[in-house]
Amino acid sequence: MKIRSLLCAVLCLFSAPSFCKALDVGAPAPDLSALDQDGKTVQFKDVYAKGPTLVYFYPKADTPGCTKQACSLRDDWSTLKAKGVQVLGVSGDKPESQKKFVDKFTLPFTLIADSDSKVADAFGVPHLGPITKRQSFLIKDGKVVWTMPKASTDSHAKDVLAALEQLSK
């Protein structure tokens, strides 16, 4: 890991969160690719093209807070889908761990294996190695339209739906 990335990770996670800069509302959505839970390449721009896209970062698959967050989205999946929302959950886990997480909790959306942290870096999400900060971005028409720097666990889906409601006004 480069010294600057390591320094940024340490400062962002533990001492000075303002040191790292996550994407702001209005920023272009990162155009990149990464592996999903099945080891298949996902082109982010192809997902964005299907409609509003929630890209949410979580520290580690199958841990208590991350499970609550994923299950919140799963439990409101029909409402999210009715609004046309695509979901990409991102963590530093390997595809095999993501697959076990999807299968264990019957998650109906794609999980991205960001073991090299390139997705976290593109979004400006602080991370220490494979452990990322919990943070969310809503992408629409190729731009960031909403961010949640401290994404919730229990009510994540409701927070996203409320943001969509506000954006439609």
Cα distances (Å, whole numbers) of residue 138 to 67, 80, 107, 156: 20, 12, 19, 12
**DSSP H helical ranges for 76-155:** 77-82, 95-105, 118-123
Catalytic residue among 8, 12, 20, 66: 66
Q: What angle do CA 68, 69, 74 make, to 5 degrees?
A: 90
CA dist., res. 53 & res. 18, Å (int): 25
- Please choose, from the candidates 167, 144, 154, 10, the residue with its C-alpha nearest in 3D space to the C-alpha of residue 73: 154
Is-catalytic flag, 20? no
Q: How many Cα atoms sit within 13 Å of 169 on the Cβ side? A: 6
Instruction: Quote the tokens at residue 121.
Output: 């870096």
CA dist., res. 87 & res. 111, Å (int): 8
Q: Which residues form the catalytic set?
A: 66
